[in-house]
Amino acid sequence: MTNNSPSTSANASQLLREHAEQQFAGELAELAKQDERPRPPNWKLSPWAVATYILGGTLDDGFVVTPKYIGNRRTIEIAIATLATDRALLLLGVPGTAKTWLAEHLAAAVAGDSTLLVQGTAGTSEESIRYGWNYARLLAEGPSRNALVPSPMMRAMETGKLARVEELTRIPAEVQDTLITILSEKTLPIPELGDEVQAIRGFNVIATANNRDKGVNELSSALKRRFNTVVLGVPATAEEEVEIVERRVAQLGHALEFPVEAPALAEIRRIVTVFRELRNGVTEDGKTKIKTPSGTMSTAEAISVLNSGLALAAHFGDGRLQAHDIASGLVGAVVKDPVQDRVVWLEYLETVVKERQGWKDVYRACREVS
């Protein structure tokens, strides 16, 4: 994702991926129009309307808001309430549980801008959280606010918007701690100028972190205490997961313009079943135990398996999604460790897939590529 501001990308239809506030501009405007509940200072919508935007619903005049996040309503309410209490929000979860997705939509709904983003990497420096210098200007004019290059964090503080920090735990620990002052004092000192930036109301931070990567750069307890932690789980029921996958695949397929039929619900359900069973280590009927592979088997991976299957069907197949289009993607998603995962996968194929009614084609296709 880039840091473009929305204005530079006016011709939205040519974009590979639109920001949430661009894609759902209509819904946001309609919500704002009808929303009469009290809004926290500088919020574009009331907390209630934010929840409706994220979870979907029908407004009083019959306008339908599509759900952006399918899952536990309470989790979303906690996240929104956290932002309303001016505590920073930390979204935790295994890979592929829609952390970034949710953060983006929260920022779009609360502040109308999801682009104030700091991507956390091992190379993220203090400048990208605080500010940098335009050295040409610095040399020519000496230190001044003009020579300062503000970070997304600083811009969010100045404008009272939400800043997002992606993959917080990948940022080196000493850089992470830069956030402490920002989060507790709500100010960003600029000692070089004897100045500071004080956050105006509405400013807050949403961070995401992956709890599989624990220990990469564990948050210091000082920083940890400044966040409210919300854990996003994997979808609770198969139906929920099927719905998520179906919705996303349709959206992505639309964007990529595959000349292919939308996959049948039955096909999606089969893939979701495979993912859920391997993730939970037990078959959906609860009767057979199976070993779990080393990968996370997240919903996001299920979506990408389906997508690559669609691409295969569109360009090399007959335009209809078949078992052999999915097989290679499926094997790739399961077998991350060539030795152990292969055993797990073969065991699963032989003991579960083979016996299952109507799954013959899947079994055969997978056997071919495994």
Partner 1 sequence: MPESASIHIFGIRHHGPGSARSLRESLEKLQPDIILVEGPPDAQDMLPLLAHPEMQPPVALLVYRPDAPNRAVYYPFAVFSPEWQAISYGLSRGISVRFMDLPQAHQLDDAGDDEHPDEGAVPGDAPDESPDVKEESALRRDPLQWLAQAAGYSDGERWWEHIVEQRRDSTDIFEAVMEAMTALREAQVEVSRNDGQLSGEALLEARREAYMRQTIRTAGREGFGRIAIVCGAWHAPALAKMPTAKEDAALLKDLPEVKTAATWVPWTNGRLCFASGYGAGVESPGWYGHLWSTREGVVVRWMTKVAALLRDEDLDASPAQVIEAVRLAETLSHLRARSLPDLTEVNEAVQTVLCFGNDAPLRLIRQKLIIGETLGRVPSETPTIPLQHDLTREQKRLRLPAEATQKMLDLDLRKPTDIARSHLLHRLNLLGIPWGVRESVTGKSGTFHELWRTEWQPEFAVHLIEAGVWGNTVIDAAVARANDKIIHASDLPKLTRLLEQVLLADLPQVVETLVRNLQAEAARASDVNQLMQSLPALANVLRYGDVRRTNASALTTIIDEFVARIAVGLTPACSSLNDEAAAVMFDRLLQVDAVVSLLQVGAHLETWHGVLRRLSDQQTLHGLIAGRCCRLLIDANAYEASDTQRRLSLALSTASEPAQAARFVEGLLKGSGQSLLHTEALWMVLDEWVTGLSEENYIATLPLVRRTFATFTLPERRRMGERISHGSGRLAPRQVVLVELDQTRAEAVLPTLARLLGV
Residues lying near partner 1 in the complex (CB under 8 A) are found at 47-48, 51, 74, 77-78, 80-82, 84-85, 87, 90, 92, 221, 224-225, 227-231, 289
Specify the residue, 238 or 282, whose C-beta has the smaller distance to partner 1: 282
Specify the residue, 76 or 117, whose C-beta has the smaller distance to partner 1: 76
As a whole number of Å, the end-to-end CA separation of the chain is 34
> Helix H segments across 162-237?
173-176, 178-185, 221-224
| Least distance (Å) between residue 281 CB and partner 1 | 8
Specify the residue, 88 or 118, whose C-beta has the smaller distance to partner 1: 88
| Least distance (Å) between residue 233 CB and partner 1 | 10
Specify the residue, 76 or 365, whose C-beta has the smaller distance to partner 1: 76
Specify the residue, 87 or 155, whose C-beta has the smaller distance to partner 1: 87
| Least distance (Å) between residue 28 CB and partner 1 | 19
Specify the residue, 74 or 136, whose C-beta has the smaller distance to partner 1: 74
Specify the residue, 99 or 276, whose C-beta has the smaller distance to partner 1: 99
Contact in structure between 1 and 104 (CB atoms under 8 Å):
no
Ordered DSSP codes for 216-278? SSPPPHHHHTTEEEEEPPPPSSHHHHHHHHHHHHHHHHHHHT-SSPPPPHHHHHHHHHHHHHH
Cβ neighbors of 345 (< 8 A, separation 6 or more) are: 293, 331, 334, 335, 370
- Alpha carbon distance 342, 366 (integer Å): 12
Contact in structure between 173 and 217 (CB atoms under 8 Å):
yes
| Least distance (Å) between residue 227 CB and partner 1 | 8
Specify the residue for token string 């500010």: 131
Tokens (6 digits) for 329:
């993607």
Where does residue 96 fall: left (phi above 0), alpha (psi -120 to 50 degrees), or beta otherwise?
A: left
| Least distance (Å) between residue 92 CB and partner 1 | 5
| Least distance (Å) between residue 193 CB and partner 1 | 31
| Least distance (Å) between residue 141 CB and partner 1 | 43
| Least distance (Å) between residue 103 CB and partner 1 | 15
- Alpha carbon distance 167, 263 (integer Å): 33
Specify the residue, 14 or 221, whose C-beta has the smaller distance to partner 1: 221
| Residue 338: C-alpha distances to residues 45, 275, 305 (Å) | 49, 18, 19
- Alpha carbon distance 252, 262 (integer Å): 11
- Alpha carbon distance 370, 366 (integer Å): 6
Neighbours of 230 (CB within 10 A): 19
